[in-house]
Structure 1
Amino acid sequence: MDVLKVGVLTFHRCINYGSYWQARCLAEGIQALGHHASIIDHDSKRINLAEWKCAMQPVLPTHVPETDHPLYREKIEKFFALFESLPLSKRFDIDKPEDMEKYDVVVVGSDEVWNLYHPWFGRNPIFYGDGLRTQQLVSYAASYGNYPASYGLEESWAERLRNFDSISVRDENSWTIVKNAIGMEPEIVLDPCLQFAINPDERENKYWEKPYIALYGHNFTESFRSKIRQYADSRKLPLVSIGYRNDWADEQWIQADPHDFAQFIARSEAVATNFFHGCVFAIRNEKPFVCESSSYRSFKVQGLMSKLGGEQHLISDEIPSAVVNNLLSQPLSPVISQTIDRLRISSNKYLDEALKIKQLKNESVA
């Protein structure tokens, strides 16, 4: 097998635990296949300012108290330090892709790379392949985020999709958008955080010393808060909120970094979340969990649960507390792990074949 120079194009500098790990996992996963892989280090002052502003006020419309500002700032600074540990390319201006390095293959994904609604990355043509210095263009676990399939895709974006040599997505909504736009049925693959190894730095922490329930997300409904609070009290377990303030939790660990997060979920007794990667990390670590689907993340979490056979873990106001208690106290169904094992095989096959397209083309030319 020829060793290829592969660039991963994604949202790798977001102040978000899932974004950090999906970028790292995809690059390192491609490296494990025997290729030279790096994350394409695009930069933009406009995007950076928008990202940092959001990271300082992450729970809007809920007010962020001034006492939390130093904690969120500390969290951001920890992310900045970890970004430099990623396998990064030479940095370039996102609006000047001609300044980027050349690659044999560029892999676009995972994350919401095709989300036309994203507040600062949306409608940037680089994520659809424009101007990329590569011989081959593929996607892995690309998503349209909260952009609904019912809206369709403008022809200008559909035409860009036709330039991809191989396309895979991570949810049904994105599958439908691609299918309706260009008439092909893309592969549905696992998110990199489920597909590849995650190796967080081992650290000692006070939270590891006692059992707890992990809370990840923000702006939960009153119904969800009540049920989770009731369960935690009944089990006499502290409810610890990571990454964001939730005043109804017993403890707040706002300033945790991505490696803290990975260990925090892995060591928890159970997980309550309304985030996509809250579900992903709970499933990866075989932790009991429940998820409240928010409007922004509904396509992502519903698609994930449908794909893995875990629909019962998505709860609404109508779900009785007894059901929630059972979900948080019982092991995950073996169907979920069996489905992941099967999807890991097909996802790996997709990526392996996608990275061979260039080689086959060269061999046919020769």
Structure 2
Amino acid sequence: MKKVGIMSMQRIANYGSFLQAYALKQLIEELGHKVVFVDYHVGTPIVTENADSKNKFVRKLERGLETLQYQAPLSHKLSFIRYKQSFSNKYMPFLGITNEMNYNPTLDCLVIGSDEVFNCIQKNSNVGYSTELFGKDNHANRLITYAASFGNTTLEKLEKYQKANEIGNLLKKFDAISVRDANSGSIVRRLTGEEPVYCLDPVLTYDYMNCCNRIPRIKATEKYLILYAYAGRISNNEADWIAGYAKEKKLKVYAIGGIQKCADRFIDCSPFEVLAYFRNAEEVITDTFHGSIFSIITHRPFTTLIRKSVGNSYGNEEKLSDMLNRLGLTECMTTKVEDAVRINQHPVDYERVDDFLQKQREIAKEYLQKNIGGRHGKHIED
């Protein structure tokens, strides 16, 4: 049994971050290893324009005030604030995480990923620019990634902010690199000359619906549509259209993950209950990566809204287009919410999707088994 560390976005209070961290932990434990989560020191963001406050208290206050300004029922706003405030205490114990930070432990292997661990050209002060996310100053015998993503950080951005050489030198010290998308693969290839292994996000790789005994059975008392999007990203026009669409189909709108103007209910539940709610939903509208994945693993009709990146504003087109293209589900994405009428009435061939996922799960298992247990390679500690 090896001691394996996972360095990810495990402390971010949202369902996608939690479920990908839990899934990767399960995948590695199934190989017979002991897993601990590893923290990194948050650095100063590269992008300072409109950057979030560095002060955690100020950040929470600003986000609470921002929440109160959204167009949504007051009860939903208060529930959302409570959900965010209590998330860590409620759910981090499932990952074995405490309030005490776990920096630089001695490990047999450190796995960096999944999630956007390499998305370093951004303004999020929760993450900032931290070279530890690229393996610097670790105390592990082996250093690998699993389905790591640069998000919407491109090679052009790395060069613009003069970080390409530093990142390239750090990447060359990894024993094995796995990425989850074409943009990340291209950056790794161009900075290191090595071809990375493509692995799917852990939420797709770990068979949650058949292997996780924490997902409850929830009895639906009404038919509903799930709107899974961050608060503030669904426009008023989109919200009004969704409200009318749901009413016409005699569906209630359940908002999960963020409050929405058009929601009949805001659902505050555990990450495992999220999957139970998805499993019972009539259909889903989402503009997030993991909202799309939750729909796929629960075999729901879903529409994914693509948001374009403009300047330093955060879009989702790179990672969503790449993922849905790999799964052969490009017909599920659109830039216009009105297309949900057409998209959600056509059944997805989930038998074909599941066959593809099964093959990818074998690739991921082989990658982890080979590289966690392999002999020490080219990694050099600084």
The TM-score with structure 1 as length reference comes to: 0.85
CA distance in 2, matches of 1:285, 1:272: 14
Structure 1: gaps (5+ residues): 362-366
Percentage of identical aligned residues:
25
Q: How does 1:99-248 map to 2 (within 5 A)?
A: 100-118=104-122, 119-120=124-125, 121-152=127-158, 154-198=164-208, 199=212, 201-203=214-216, 208-218=220-230, 219-221=233-235, 224-225=238-239, 228-248=242-262
The residue that corresponds to 1:260 in the other structure is 273
1:211 is aligned with what amino acid? K
Q: Residue type of the partner of 1:212?
A: Y
Q: 1:235 to 1:340 in 2, by over 3 A?
A: same
CA distance in 2, matches of 1:149, 1:85: 36
Q: Is the Cα contact below 8 Å between 2:119 and 2:149 reproduced in 1? A: yes
Q: Secondary structure at the match of 2:322?
A: helix
2:94 match: 85
Instruction: Note if contact 1:40-1:91 (Cα within 8 Å) is conserved in structure 2.
Output: no
Find the counterpart in structure 2 of residue 364 from structure 1: none
In the TM superposition, residue 113 of structure 1 has moved relative to its aligned partner by 0.5
The answer to whether the 8 A contact 2:146-2:179 is kept is yes
**Distance in 2 (alpha carbons) for counterparts of 1:187 and 1:156:** 22
Report if aligned partners of 2:105, 2:139 keep a CA contact under 8 Å in 1. Answer: yes
Shift in Å at residue 202 of structure 1?
4.9
How far off is 1:348 after superposition?
1.7
Give the SS at the match of 1:176: helix
Q: Distance in 2 between matches of 1:73 and 1:228?
A: 24
Given candidates 289, 302, 327, the residue that maps to 1:308 is: 327
Give CA deviations for 1:37-67 in whole Å, capped at 9, x if unaligned. 1212457695855774576467699578875
User: Residue by residue, what CA displacement relative to the aligned partner does 1:286-338 show, whole Å, maximum 9, x if unpaired?
Assistant: 11100111232221111111111111111123x8x4x5324213331243323
SS in 2 for 1:38: strand
TM-score (norm 2): 0.82
The alignment partner of 2:364 has SS state of: helix
1: CA distance, partners of 2:278 / 2:37: 25
1:264-295 deviation per Cα after TM superposition (whole angstroms, max 9, x unaligned): 11221111000100001101111110011123
1:40 and 2:38 are equivalent in the alignment? yes
Shift of 1:203: 4.9
Tell me the secondary structure at the aligned position of residue 306 of structure 1. Answer: helix
CA 24–53 in structure 1, closer or farther in 2 if over 3 Å, else same: farther
8 A Cα contact 1:79 1:257, kept in partner: no
Q: 2:78 aligns with which of 70, 76, 84?
A: 70
Number of residues paired by the alignment? 349
**SS of the residue aligned with 1:22?**
helix
- Counterpart contact for 2:6–2:111, Cα < 8 Å: yes
Shift of residue 356, structure 1, vs aligned partner = 2.5
From the superposition, tell whether residues 326 and 335 of structure 1 become closer, same or farther in structure 2 (CA, over 3 Å). Answer: farther
Question: Aligned equivalents of 1:89 and 1:83: distance in 2?
Answer: 7
Seen in structure 2, the aligned counterparts of structure 1 residues 132 and 180 have a Cα distance that, compared at 3 Å, is same
**Partners of 2:121 and 2:158 within 8 A in 1:** no
Q: Which residue in 2 is equivalent to 1:346?
A: 363
CA 1:54 to 1:243, structure 2 compared with 1: closer, same or farther past 3 Å?
Answer: farther
Is the Cα contact below 8 Å between 1:105 and 1:136 reproduced in 2?
yes
Larger deviation, residues 140-149 vs 218-227:
218-227
Contact map agreement 1:55 1:72 (CA 8 A) in 2: no
CA contact (8 A) 2:68 2:77 kept: no
**Cα RMSD for the two superposed structures:** 3.0
Cα 1:152–1:280 change in 2 (3 A) is: same
Residue 107 of structure 1 and its aligned partner are, at CA, apart by 0.2
Q: Which runs of 5+ in 2 are unaligned?
A: 44-53, 310-314
Q: Distance in 2 between matches of 1:227 and 1:185?
A: 44
CA-to-aligned-CA distance 1:165-186 (integer Å, 9 cap, x gap): 0001111111111111111121
Query: Bigger CA drift: 275-284 or 217-226?
Result: 217-226
